[in-house]
Structure 1
Amino acid sequence: MVEQCASCHGEDAALGAPEGLNFPVGLVSGAGEQAISGGRRLLWAQANVHRQRDLIYSQVVNGAMPPRGFVPAGDSAYADADGNVLPSLRTAEGQEVLRNWLACGSPVIERTTPLAQPCTAPGECPVTNFCVLEDPDPTDEIDPRNQCLAVGDIVPAAGGGVDCEGEPQATWSWIYTCLFQADQTCTSAACHGGGAMGGALAMPDAATGYANLFEVESEPAGACMGRVRVVPGDPDASLLVHKVEMGNPMSCETPMPIGPPPLSEEEVGIIRQWITDGAMNN
């Protein structure tokens, strides 16, 4: 992606690349505000790749991208840890590597050396908005307790015992875990996990998400200005329902989630029932 796509699909689309198809997944450089800006760029790029994964893969395997004659057709200049040169995107092997990467959520690396950033709460982490307060692996050389999660780090499991394979439950814990958090449908770090794309509605965890939804007005700007996100007992007046319900005429700006697949009628029905029942934090 960096070598054969980024010259056109970088931070600024160039040479005919459609606007919005930007994939600047290169490493973050610099420190301070430059590092924060670079981290947010990388998070956004990873989320954009994930949303466009089917289009990216089909364009490559169909031979439309990268453009012939523009990108060298030979092997990559990059190699793995064992010195094996990576294959070109035009080869079957290279396309299989791309397929696996996309299927695994397009994992990225923020930097080549760890960045220690102490924290005591999610709001102290300006890029990922995720503070690791427990040590998931005490054998690590770098103690991750009270450290901001870096771009590309694995988020500790936080299912809270919710069974997403069983019968759907009209509870906040089930909705957050099984609809919003599952496959990072809504809570990816670039979107409502706290990233810039999520606007003022941050949902990095169930407690924060509930606090930012329940009887809270939308940000004081844009087409959604002043709309209440969740009105207990009244799903038809709740902005959350307007945003996730396909074809709802009250949906201001962009319906959610961005990119396929949308929530099903059954899933929206669960959200509606939860709000009808009072939108309890259960």
Structure 2
Amino acid sequence: MTKFSLPGFDLDKFIRETYAEDLGEGLPGGGHDVTSESVIPADARFAGVMDSRDPIVVAGLPVAVAFFLALDPDMDIEVLVEEGQTVPAGSDLMRLSGNARAMLTAERSALNTVQHLSGIATMTREYVDAIGDGGAVLLDTRKTIPGLRFLEKYATRMGGAQNHRMGLWDAAMIKDNHVLVAGDVGEAVRRARNAGVARIICEVDRLDQIEPALSAGADHLLLDNMEPDTLREAVALVAGRAITEASGGVNLQTIGAKSATGVDYVSVGRLTQSAPAADIGLDFAPL
């Protein structure tokens, strides 16, 4: 398997820091898996199967593989499904065999990652399906757990969404508090444009803010907490002069109607903020 790689994400560091936390490195008595070392012989070998007890969209298996190989580079691992694949409950995801202590030490970190990322991908796919034929594209947000943003945004892509900003650096997003300090929407956008910012997203929550934002140079309008009728009017006022995005109050019951208004995008914070973990297990047997 090709090593898992994401721009901006250091997989080796993530593995090291996760194990350091779980093994208690630097703490009194820490630095090892006391249970496995005291119960399992050093040369014992296990075979295992990771399987899903829920219907899921798969995400995170390459990271799980890295957790296992970090402790047993000779472990035999067979990944049985593709990232982004939809699988029914009861599906086997991965088979592995190798050093028993390594498997047991890696088990929780590997499972936690796959459960969390597959949960995000699964919820994301539900929202993609709920958009229907409206034509809008689903976006995630920056509502991610610190330290996990690159992985969580990877999981939304596996579910069929596109990534919004990756962080504070790759676009300006002018929101109500920025406007409060600047004085008005137009002035806030002008300041960003005069500073040489290439991509300017501006949040508007009233129709009368649209023209000032566009006139000042906004590229992308985030239409916040607008009902479908207001969104339609907003899209008509924009008339193709900027990207339009519906945001706020979006759930599985409302996303279809918001998408059908003609907006280019619909963003949903709960994809990364509230997705439940998938029920995924790992069963071992001695060899």
Task: State the TM-score, normalized to the length of structure 2.
Answer: 0.21
Higher strand share: 2
Asked which structure has the greater CA Rg, the reply is 2
Q: Which has the higher contact order (CA 8 A, sep 6+)?
A: 2
The structure whose residues are more often helix, as a share, is 2
